[in-house]
Amino acid sequence: MPSDRPSWAPESIDLDRPNAARIYDYLLGGAANFETDRVFAEKLLEMMPGARNAARMNRAFLRRAVKFCVSAGITQFLDIGSGVPTAGNVHEIAPDARVQYVDNERVAVTHSELLLKDNPNASCMLGDLTDPEPILAASTLDFSRPVALLMVAVLHFIPDEAHPYEAVARFRSVLAPGSYLVLSHGVERPTNKAPAEVDQLYETSANPGVRRHEADVRKFFDGLEFVEPGLVWTPEWRPESPDDVLDDPASSLVMAGVARKP
């Protein structure tokens, strides 16, 4: 376990407990992670060899969805659960847009602040998806105009007892007509191997996972209108080339969709 705290690591973070944002960073090839995160990720890959590819497919969905929102005229993005900065951040995909990143992981926020210190169009704040009011109060975005609300690979770490549906509904309620919700969520598959072992592994982390089915994920989009192709596996959402689509799209483990507020 790590004993030396890097100079950039806030004193308040626990270096000895794996964190979802840093594990995701490691799976994507980033460097903002600790030994405990890497050990966790390698154990996860032993149980679920497709986990790294699933992370990459999810990141590719984010890129395509942001590009779609830009093409639809969106100039503001609220990215909640934005994670540790890696290649392909929203402000890189949409350089002319106003971007507000939000995460509850201090390493993610610290790295984002370092990355964005000279960027007038993008900023990051510490906040929790399950507590919308402080985020809405502190955000630099103009909610009287359309916003793309991004909740990508975050809700499957929020249990029902933390009231994620109510929180997402609150965020939806402040969006102007013409806004979009971009969301992806891990989905339970009957063919998943070693689910109990994966659950036990995640119980050792700061972010135990939540098992939800497709119908549960659809509820997060209540009151919105899906854009084509609806809620699908990540590689099936508007692929840009045949290489983007896997032989078994469900092996991506994550379903994703984009929906518009009428």
Q: For residue range 15-43, what is the model confidence (pLDDT) as tens digits?
A: 677 877 777 787 777 777 788 888 887 87
pLDDT at 222 over 70: yes
Question: In angstroms, rounded to a whole number, what is the distance separating the alpha carbons of residues 150 and 72?
Answer: 15
What is the percent of the chain where pLDDT is above 70? 85
Q: Where are the domains of the chain?
A: 20-260
pLDDT of the residue at 207: 52
Burial string for 176-199 (b: 16+ CB within 10 Å, else e) reads eeebbbbbbbbbeeeeeeeeeebe
Question: In angstroms, rounded to a whole number, what is the distance separating the alpha carbons of residues 27 and 236?
Answer: 21
Instruction: Specify the range with the lowest mean pLDDT, choosing from 87-101, 102-116, 125-139.
Output: 102-116
* This model's pTM is above 0.75: yes
pLDDT at 75 over 90: yes
DSSP characters for 176-188?
A: PTT-EEEEEEE--
Report yes or no: 26 and 126 within 8 Å, Cβ to Cβ. Answer: no
pLDDT of the residue at 100: 97
Question: In angstroms, rounded to a whole number, what is the distance separating the alpha carbons of residues 112 and 115?
Answer: 5
- What is the third-level CATH fold of 20-260? Rossmann fold (3.40.50)
Please write the tens of the pLDDT for every residue from 44-71: 777 777 778 888 889 999 999 999 999 9
Mean pLDDT of the chain: 86
Give the chain's end-to-end CA distance (angstroms, integer).
50
